[in-house]
Amino acid sequence: GQNIDQPTEMTATEGAIVQINCTYQTSGFNGLFWYQQHAGEAPTFLSYNVLDGLEEKGRFSSFLSRSKGYSYLLLKELQMKDSASYLCAVYNFNKFYFGSGTKLNVKP
């Protein structure tokens, strides 16, 4: 089967840095995606890793270690609008497998 684990909920302060972890055990791997989803809305794409290492996109960075089945999403200079759920998804054999998501609460 496919198993993707993320923490259920995290809280951080405005202006701080937060790291959201994702571990996966899947029968194959063709890439890992991070999505942001605000309550009641559709997910929007944040980042994609297929090779080991760090991908940086403005305030957001994502890291992948394929040998460890591990990824993290790093959010810097947190803003109130970053309060949302963050979904980790593994792409494998034409399908995406999603974790349950991490709800991030940003407090003033």
User: How many other C-beta atoms can be found within 10 angstroms of the C-beta atom of residue 101?
Assistant: 21
Rule CB under 8 A: say whether 91 interacts with other proteins. yes
Q: Which of 38, 68, 95, 107 is close enough to bind other proteins by CB under 8 A? A: 95
Question: Toward other proteins, which CB reaches closer, 6 or 61?
Answer: 6
Our CA dihedral for 28, 31, 36, 42, rounded to 10 degrees, sits at -70
Compute φ and ψ for 80, nearest 5 degrees: -60, -35
The nearest distance, CB 104 to other proteins, in angstroms, is 14
For other proteins, the binding residues (CB under 8 A) are 4, 30-33, 40-45, 48, 50, 87, 89, 91, 94-101, 103
